Amino acid sequence: MKQFTVDDQTSKVRRVTFASPPFNLIGADTVAELLDIVDRLSGEEQVSVVIFDSATPGYFFNHVDSDQIPAIADMAGSGPLPGFVELGMRLAAAPFVSIASIRGRTRGGGAEYTAAFDLRYASREQAIFCQPEVGFGLVPGAGGTERLTHLLGRDRALEVLLTGQDYDADRAAQYGWVTRAIPDAELDDFVNAVARRIASFDKQAITAVKTQVNRSTLPPEENLLASFVESARATTGPGVEARRRAVGKLIAQIGMDDLERNLGHHLESLAEQP
């Protein structure tokens, strides 16, 4: 079943909409489909801008489905990077400008991919950001540590990665996690206007500017691979299974919907589960 739809907004602008209700969790099929879409749009010479959004209320790009971790880890890429990691690199290096129109929760692997977009505009009322991996005894593996350190600086990246807290759009904008926080009622018009304006310019100039910026901002391939190796190693750590059992007990107490909606709040309580 397809999780993404691609719509032509203009001859130069496309919109890619993610819908995998109820929580927009990321699985191996999600990664594979999005890789195909990025490749296809990269091959369309007329496409200058691609907007990414979500049709699932309350969620943008959410974290990886824990049941899918082995399948995702085994996904091969076109080169030395695993497919899960290569997706973020392809998003960042694509020959079009990618714009995230963010409504809802953006966490874990989804937040790592979101950080790879060129521009990120977040609903002030609805967007929430979180890197919760440490709360599960895990480590981000799709480039989040590298990209967040560049965007936020070392100390704020460490705060985000080590506390696993939820951050609202205003704080995310203050930290540099997103380009701007926009009132929800204005988000669609704002993103569409930015997309149309960029697309009105010469694509050769657009891609040349992006190439120059990428040269000084994209993490080296060897760093991304090293992060993935650390992430894979963490999945067999001594605390992971205990945390998995704690998550099951917590879900039995509060329900899956409450856990997903308030994940940052509930992370600390995982250590308190008997």
pLDDT at 104: 97
Distance of CA 204 to the CA centre of its chain: 27
Which one of the listed residues 44, 45, 112, 146 is annotated catalytic?
112
The domain 4-199+219-234 having CATH identifier 3.90.226.10: the answer here is yes
Q: Catalytic residue among 86, 133, 146, 260, which?
A: 133
Structure tokens at 252: 């039995």
Active site annotation includes 112: yes
pLDDT of 272: 56
pLDDT of residue 235: 80
Distance between CA 172 and CA 22 in Å, rounded?
24
Residue 146 annotated among the catalytic residues of the structure: no
Rounded to an integer, what distance in angstroms lies between the CA atom of residue 31 and that of residue 83? Answer: 8
Residue 270: pLDDT band by 50, 70, 90 thresholds?
confident
The string of pLDDT tens digits covering residues 206-258 is: 999 999 999 999 988 899 888 888 888 888 777 788 888 888 888 999 999 99
Tens digit of each residue's pLDDT (9 = 90 or more) over 133-157: 998 888 898 888 999 999 999 999 9
pLDDT in tens, 171-213: 999 999 999 999 999 999 999 999 999 999 999 999 999 999 9
pLDDT of residue 180: 98
Distance, CA of 61 to CA of 3 (rounded, Å): 12
Specify the pLDDT at position 53: 98
The pTM is what?
Answer: 0.94
Rounded to an integer, what distance in angstroms lies between the CA atom of residue 161 and that of residue 168? 15
Residue with tokens 């505009």: 121
